[in-house]
Structure 1
Amino acid sequence: MKKIILIIAIFLGVSACKTNPFTGKKMLNMYPNSQIFPSAFAQYDQFLTDNNTVENTSEARMITKVGQRIASAAERWLTANGYPGYLKDYKWEYNLVNDETVNAWCMPGGKIVFYTGILPICDGETGVAVVMGHEVAHALADHGAQRMSAGTFQQIGAVAGNVLIKDQQTLNTFNQAYGIGSEVGIMLPFSRGHETEADRIGLQIMAIAGYNPDEAADLWRRMKANSGGESQPEFMSTHPSNDTRINNLTEWAPAAKQEAAKFGVTSFE
């Protein structure tokens, strides 16, 4: 049994490697687009059926307009950098949903939702582009599939411990320690890393789309003000703190402008 678990873990680890075109780094992804996209598309359609989608308003049209510009900029970057067919299975869709929640999200394959509650904090089209760039970046970097892959490995570790440990008291201690340790020490940092990566990729593609990357830090200042400055400690969160994001985005904005200049974009909205 020990050998079987080891063989499975090694096989999954080797087969799960895929290169992130934006970072050049190997990423944990054992779920191909052909497996994950159809399910994501179906869930997205069901969500729209069950919720109050806003249609044919200036705000809804703005969400679509910004999304199309951001996705087009991403495709330009990918094609110029040797990934011309990277987006062939993506089915971009952008919808505004009437909900006071201050949030937006993206499902694998490019299915994006903005809640009306985030629009006052966006404070206009450029702010929407900051959020849209971040959400599109999650899709581009396969973060959804990576989270599923990491969850699978987390489960394998738990199963292995329960198979190998025979003493009940030791097993109880292991299960408690493994649950907390793998979450705080692995899964949460993994998630924060994705958020940081999406911030950086999103900043770059919004600049290529012609939106001012300097506005990104301002959006997160508004987000911080909206929260009243209250947040849980960063090491216990799935997201970096507001201050971390503000500092990062401020630091990265000049590089995003330099990247945009490679595509002839030197002035920004």
Structure 2
Amino acid sequence: MLRTYNKLCILTCLILSTACAKSPTGRNQLKLYSSSQLAGMGEQAFDSMKSEQNVSNQIVSNQYVQCIADAITQHVPNSVFAGEWELVVFDEPQINAFALPGGKIGVYTGLMGVATNQDQLAAVIGHEVGHVIAEHGNERMSSSALIGVGLEVTNQLLQTNKIASSNVIMAGLGLGVQVGVQLPFGRTHETEADLIGLELMARAGFDPKESITLWENMAKASGDNRQPELLSTHPLPTTRISNLSKNMANAMLFYNAATTKPKCS
């Protein structure tokens, strides 16, 4: 019991020391891990994925994706990552992409059938890099650590005081945390990454209006196989489109001011 309280005290101290952290959009953040820790985790995860998944050897396709990624990452602040980003195209059917701390980007070939031009693919890569810029991975791990200790302390109190039906209460708390905290938290991250990515792609010279078309394509590709938005970490495509549309005028200013317009093919 004492060890559990000690864990909670340590986490509380860490929270107090990081309470002033802000996301790029001005949202308060909890971040318990250092940038170097995250970069190390990102590198390890990326190396593991390269060894476990099929890596594409299609030179032309890889060069196309590399061209887009290079244009996007030129506009990432050095404070986020100052080195050369590593891109890998995975020859897998998933309609997906990701970016990791430490300058790592992965794109699945299945995405190419939905992101049908350079601007749409730039919207996806910009979104994924947006997660890294906003340190959403740090937030998720920090939140999970805090929730885990909080539930452990609650369980210990229930058991120590011999509260009836403590197992039922703990199960309810777990579900409440998932639906009430973690899932909305995930949707907040997705929306924030959308907006960061929208600006990134526009600054890089990609047409931000194509982000709307991308999510229209995503909606068609997913069909009716979607969870209700309340029970999903990802907003519905219609919600994404609405949020992107509200911020399109500002993105177009960056696009029109871009000195270069990439021609990736």
Q: Same fold (TM over 0.5)?
A: yes
Q: Classify 1:257/1:268 alpha carbon distance in 2 versus 1 (closer, same or farther; 3 Å).
A: farther
Equivalent residue of 1:257, what SS?
helix
- Deviations 1:4-32 (Å, cap 9, x if unpaired)? 46633421321333634622333111010
- SS at 1:37's partner residue? helix
Partners of 2:191 and 2:240 within 8 A in 1: yes
2:81 corresponds to which of 80, 87, 93 = 87
1:258 equivalent among 249, 253, 256: 253
- Cα gap change, 1:21/1:5 in structure 2, threshold over 3 Å: closer, same or farther? closer
What is the deviation of 1:168? 4.6
Higher relative contact order by CA 8 Å / sep ≥ 6: 1 or 2? 2
The residue matched to 1:19 in structure 2 has which SS?
coil
In 2, Cα distance between the equivalents of 1:192 and 1:144? 13
Structure 1 residues 1-269: aligned runs within 5 Å: 1=2, 4=6, 7-17=9-19, 19-20=21-22, 22-55=24-57, 57-75=59-77, 85-88=79-82, 92-165=85-158, 166-260=161-255, 264-265=257-258
Deviation at 1:204, TM superposition (A): 0.4
The CA deviation at 1:33 is 1.4
User: Structure 1 stretches of 5 or more lacking a match?
Assistant: 76-83
**Length-normalised TM-score, structure 2:** 0.89
Task: Assess, with a 3 A threshold, how the Cα gap between structure 1 residues 72 and 267 changes in structure 2: closer, same or farther.
Answer: closer
Deviation at 1:244, TM superposition (A): 0.4
Distance 1:65 1:268, change over 3 A: closer
Contact kept in structure 2, 1:126 and 1:211, CA below 8 Å: yes
CA distance in 2, matches of 1:175, 1:3: 18
Question: CA RMSD for the aligned pairs?
Answer: 2.2
Q: Deviation digits for residues 37-86 of structure 1, max 9, x if unmatched?
A: 112202211211222211352221111111111111223xxxxxxxx544
TM-superposition CA deviations, 1:174-198 (whole Å, max 9, x none) = 2111110000000011111100000
How many Å separate the matches in 1 of 2:10 and 2:41? 25
Are the counterparts in 1 of residues 8 and 149 from structure 2 also a CA contact under 8 Å? no
Structure 2 SS opposite 1:28: coil
Change in CA separation of 1:58 and 1:3 when aligned onto 2, cut-off 3 Å: closer
Mean Cα displacement is larger for which, 113-122 or 90-99?
Answer: 90-99
For the residues of structure 2 that align with 1:18 and 1:203, how far apart are their CA atoms? 26
Amino acid in the other structure paired with 1:27: Q
Contact 2:186–2:233 (8 Å) recurs in 1: yes
Report deviation, 1:3: 6.4
| C-alpha contact 1:257 1:266 (8 A) present in aligned 2 | no
- Paired residues of 1:37 and 1:108 also in contact (CA < 8 A): yes
Amino acid at match of 2:48: Q
Cα displacement string for residues 101-139 of structure 1 (whole angstroms, at most 9, x for unaligned residues): 111112222311111001011001111101000011011
Q: CA deviation at 1:249?
A: 1.2
What is the one-letter code of the residue matched to 1:87? Answer: F
